[in-house]
Amino acid sequence: MILPSKMIPLTKSLFMNGEQCTKLLWYAQRKELPEITLSDRHKFTQGRDFEKYVKKLFPDGVDLSELKNEDNIKETQKLTGKKKTIFEAGFQSQDLFVKNDILEPVNGGWNLYEIKASTEVKPEHIPDLAFQKYVCEKVGLKIKKCFVLFLNKEYTKNGEINPQELVSKKEVTDEVNNVANLEEHSKKYLAVFQNKTAPNVSIGKHCNKPHECSLKPMCWAYLPEYNVIQLTNWRQYWKLFEDGILDIKNIQKGTKLTDKDQIIKEACDKNKTVVAKEQIKEFLASLNYPLYHLDFETFDTAVPIFDKSRPYQKIPFQYSLHVQQKDGKIEHFEFLAEGGIDPRPLLLENLKNQIGKAGDVIVFNKSFEITVLTRLAEDFPEHKDWINEVLKRIVDLADPFKNFYYYNPKQKGQYSIKKVLPSLTGNGYSDLEINNGGDASMQFFYSNIKHDLANANEIRKNLLKYCCLDTEGMVWITNELKKLIK
């Protein structure tokens, strides 16, 4: 066993940072990344929750996760000599250090397992395992096979969690063995550690792959207010960027753009809103009153916590419903679950009493609401017929904006309600304590389900304000569209 050096080692997480971007690696190694969000902490928590069930599949395993690195390495050396299955086995070779999720003794060597709280094996899982295997073999272990253990997305909770059914396994030995340049990359990343300044790395597709980088706001801040990355055709906007064209106004006349990107350019060049009145008029004429403006808030967990639910299933805990009559009369209904019980049965009962039998159900970006309702129909078949009727009545208020019948430069290439509402009506979310769906999900979960946040009552008030604005905003958008065609 090679003893640790005094230099900060290249760990598997730092190695993976380097695989994405050496600038990210430099900041991560110095512990100068932005503070992690509640959503980030949630992701880590989900991984740990899944690991608990995976470990039950290896009942003889010895867990070293609580040991500091130096003690871990020493204890790992003892246990590998005894051919024990180890959780968080630690190995260091010079300036390289890994902890393996699971190391299992087999005839002639060891099997290496990586636990991932995802519902599939992803491309980035392979170099992660390859680096671990590389370090293990440098210290003398023979790795026979490599596996990824991940969530079975078809698993449905019914009573106690069954680890055998929850966990899926895939062998990836061949893929791992095909990863090249591990030594070259390791040396490169260790060299980055010595730099007194961060590497100068241009922005690019790697900023979002395999994960959106936490440095992105800093690295992208130099871009013009209306820049080519706001175009819809990503292949073209990266080509323009690589050609040195950053501002949409600097795209040369005659450059072939998609119809939508041509609208974006026209709006930016003239600093005006582009409106297709006839198409908007046709959309509005197709609406059937009363309009039921509906929005759900949901949370999800890797390991399902309620019966009749699956890994990462969106569990609706809140809705807002604004009912808009043709004469302009508005009525508002809302639901926000209490913690501790499955919110779906009561949510369904309330919603069923508030959506009438006639009129369109208006949502913004319908795929989300359709997915939530479809799952509710599957899990609560007693409501299936009613839900299926509601699904037939869904109209997507995002369609006029998705099709660029209306485009304001302030939208910056996007058609989410967070961009459309302030651009069209002047009203927005900036003054709210909770102003996006991710925060709503996490704040509810950690105040009402996990009780980790102390200000639960204040959070509930903020949740009601946020979700209400989503559907009230849809009423305002509908009314503003009517004004545009007069």
Residue 260's CB is within 10 A of a number of other CB atoms, namely: 17
CA distance 89 to 18: 23
Helix (H, G, I), strand (E, B) or coil at 381: helix
Reduce the secondary structure of 249-308 to three states and give it as a string: HHCCCCCCCCHHHHHHHHHHHHCCCEECHHHHHHHHHCCCCCEEEEEEEEECCCCCCCCC
Task: Return the structure tokens found at 70.
Answer: 């130096």
Asked if 10 and 28 touch (Cβ cutoff 8 Å), the reply is: no
Radius of gyration in angstroms for the set of CA atoms belonging to the chain, rounded to a whole number: 26
CA–CA distances in Å: residue 422 to residues 75, 311, 415, 474: 59, 35, 11, 12
Among 328, 333, 316, 482, residue whose Cα is nearest residue 406: 482
How far apart CA 100 and CA 114 sit, in angstroms, is 7
> Going by DSSP bridges, is the β-strand pair 315-324/330-336 parallel, antiparallel, or unpaired?
antiparallel
Verdict on whether the full-model pTM lies above 0.95: no
Residue 429 and residue 465 in contact, taking contact as beta carbons nearer than 8 Å = no
Distance (Å, whole) CA 350 – CA 366: 21
Residues of the chain with pLDDT under 70: 1-7
Q: Whole-angstrom Cα distance, residue 201 to residue 479?
A: 46
CA distances in angstroms from 352 to 242, 307, 371, 467, listed in the order given: 53, 22, 17, 19
C-alpha 234/C-alpha 204 separation (Å) is 11
User: How far apart (Å, rounded) are the C-alpha atoms in residues 358 and 356?
Assistant: 6
Model pLDDT for residues 85-105, shown as the tens digit of each residue: 999 999 999 999 999 999 999
Using the CB atoms, write b or e for 391-404: b if 16+ within 10 Å: eeebbbbbbbbebb
Q: What is the rounded distance in angstroms from the CA atom of residue 74 to the CA atom of residue 34?
A: 33
145-172: burial string, b at 16+ Cβ within 10 Å, e else = bbbbbbbeeebebeeebeeeebbbeeeb
Q: What is the maximal distance between C-alpha atoms in the chain?
A: 82
Q: What's the length of the chain?
A: 486
- Nearest CA to 265 out of 280, 279, 243, 245 is that of 245
Q: Does residue 311 contact residue 302 with C-beta atoms inside 8 Å?
A: yes
Peptide bond into 34 cis (omega under 30): no
Beta bridge partner(s), residue 114? 148
Looking from the CA of 152 toward its CB, the CA atoms found within 13 Å total: 15
CA 461 to chain centre: 25
- The residues, any chain, with a CB within 8 Å of residue 40's CB and separated by 6 or more, are none
- Rounded-to-10 torsion of CA 212, 217, 222, 225: 90
Q: By the 8 A CB rule, do 140 and 114 touch?
A: no
Q: In 3D, which of 9, 6, 2 has the Cα closest to residue 93? A: 2
| Phi then psi dihedrals of residue 57, to 5 deg | -80, -10
C-beta pairs of 448-456 under 8 Å, 24+ apart in sequence: 448/317, 448/337, 448/338, 448/339, 448/340, 449/299, 449/305, 449/339, 449/340, 451/339, 456/339
Q: How many CB atoms lie within 10 A of CB 430?
A: 8
CA nearest to 347, candidates 298, 283, 409: 298
